[in-house]
């Protein structure tokens, strides 16, 4: 007899499982805008947006995206700055760039239509096994698993799978188990049922087993080991990086923005000037300039005694506006935000922008947070 629990399920048990699970899904499925039909473009966009992002956050972005780019051709032809502006705030901006690259690939290689085989879907830029499985099963009824964190959690408890879900090599185990139980008649609904169950009932820390539609099939529930699964090794902590930021205003009430390089982290996006500093320098600045967070009533430092950016002819406020922290997947940025004024041209390539025109520029989350610090200081300043 096989030691794999899913191989011990008879065809009759698999069918019973599918019927009970899909019946629950039809009654309880979430009302989401990308579920109104099975159009592969809609499914594709939603699945990419949902990576690393909560469903309730994605909904508004999804509506705006589909309004701006209703077809694959519209996405392929979009100016990058417009695309990134629509995406602004979702993070992981390579997702948006990969979407456009894949749309252009679809026009060039597939006559403008989403391919309908798993291998061809996988050939598109930015599409991995999970997204291909979602598109293939939902839009083309291919019995292909869509395995994400929710699905691995459900399946690991269903069969008491001991493999570490943090290891890429473990995916083949979950793939094998899913192929045993997935519905060949309604694979898209089955995959979405798995996602809904994992997000609403079979949650990471406090699974609501009493409400679970597949409780009677669950090996972990039978053995009362729900919290033992999934097995997951700890992720490496993100590296701490320290910055000072300068919100610099000129006599025309314009602010200096700098564009990031066209590759790498936050590529081509706009931020207030940033300068990386050591942790010791960061701590020194933080302890020296935190007495008063008022914007204009605080002392300004003379040009011959700069706090930050010594090469800039800026008169700096001798206070910190605030501190911003932003976590990427592998980095944690710590930013001290300062305010300064200048009446000189800082550099030929400088971009000076009125506050009312900020909406024309693509701002990543760290920039939005820095802008929020400045606006909060403005709102509380009486001078």
Mind telling me the catalytic residues? 47
CA angle centred on 345, ends 343 and 347, rounded to 5°: 150
Report the C-alpha gap between 176 and 81 in whole angstroms. 42
Q: Rounded CA gap, 321 and 329, in Å? A: 26
Q: What angle do CA 308, 309, 312 make, to 5 degrees?
A: 130
Query: 66 — phi, psi (to 5°)?
Result: -70, -30
CA–CA–CA angle 299, 250, 268 (5° rounding) = 115
Contact criterion met (CB below 8 Å) for 1 and 8: yes
Q: Which residues pair with 351 in a beta bridge?
A: 257
| C-beta separation of 335 from 322 below 8 A | no
- Whether 99 and 66 have beta carbons less than 8 Å apart is answered as no
Q: Give, for 351, the enclosing helix (H) or strand (E).
A: strand 351-354
CA distances from 369 to 231, 240, 254, 294, 355 (A): 35, 18, 19, 18, 15
- Longest pairwise C-alpha distance within the chain: 83
Distance CA 43, CA 56 (A): 16
């Amino acid at each position: 007899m096989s030691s794999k629990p899913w191989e011990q399920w008879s065809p009759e048990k698999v069918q019973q499982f599918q019927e009970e699970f899909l019946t629950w899904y039809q009654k309880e499925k979430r009302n989401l805008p990308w579920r109104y039909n099975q159009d592969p473009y809609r499914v594709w966009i939603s699945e990419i947006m949902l990576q690393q992002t909560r469903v309730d956050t994605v909904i508004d972005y999804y509506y705006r995206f589909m309004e701006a780019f209703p077809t694959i051709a519209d996405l392929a032809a979009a100016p990058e700055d417009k695309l990134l502006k629509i995406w602004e705030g979702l993070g992981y901006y390579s997702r948006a760039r990969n979407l456009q690259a894949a749309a252009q690939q679809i026009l060039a290689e597939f006559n403008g239509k989403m391919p309908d085989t798993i291998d061809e879907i996988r050939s598109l830029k930015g599409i991995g096994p999970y997204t291909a499985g979602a598109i293939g099963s939902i839009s083309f009824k291919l019995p292909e698993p869509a395995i994400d964190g929710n699905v691995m959690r459900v399946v690991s408890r269903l069969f008491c799978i001991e493999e570490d879900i943090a290891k890429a090599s473990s995916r083949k185990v979950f793939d094998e188990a899913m192929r045993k139980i997935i519905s060949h008649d309604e694979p898209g609904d089955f995959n979405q049922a798995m996602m809904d169950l994992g997000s609403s009932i079979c949650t990471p820390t406090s699974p609501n087993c009493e409400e679970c539609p597949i409780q009677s099939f669950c090996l972990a529930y039978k053995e009362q080991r729900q919290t033992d699964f999934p097995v997951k090794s700890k992720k490496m902590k993100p590296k701490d990086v320290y910055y000072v930021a300068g919100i610099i205003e000129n006599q025309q009430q314009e602010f200096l923005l700098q564009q990031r390089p066209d590759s790498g982290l936050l590529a081509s996006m706009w931020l207030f000037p940033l300068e990386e500093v050591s942790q010791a320098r960061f701590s020194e600045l933080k302890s020296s300039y935190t007495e008063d967070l008022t914007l204009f009533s605080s002392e300004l430092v003379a040009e011959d005694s700069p706090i930050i950016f010594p090469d800039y002819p800026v008169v700096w406020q001798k206070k910190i506006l605030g501190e911003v922290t932003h976590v990427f997947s592998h980095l944690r940025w710590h930013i001290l935000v300062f305010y300064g004024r200048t009446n000189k041209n800082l550099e030929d390539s400088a971009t000076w922008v009125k506050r009312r025109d900020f909406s024309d520029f693509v701002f990543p989350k760290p920039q939005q947070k820095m802008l929020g610090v400045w606006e909060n200081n403005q709102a509380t300043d009486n001078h």
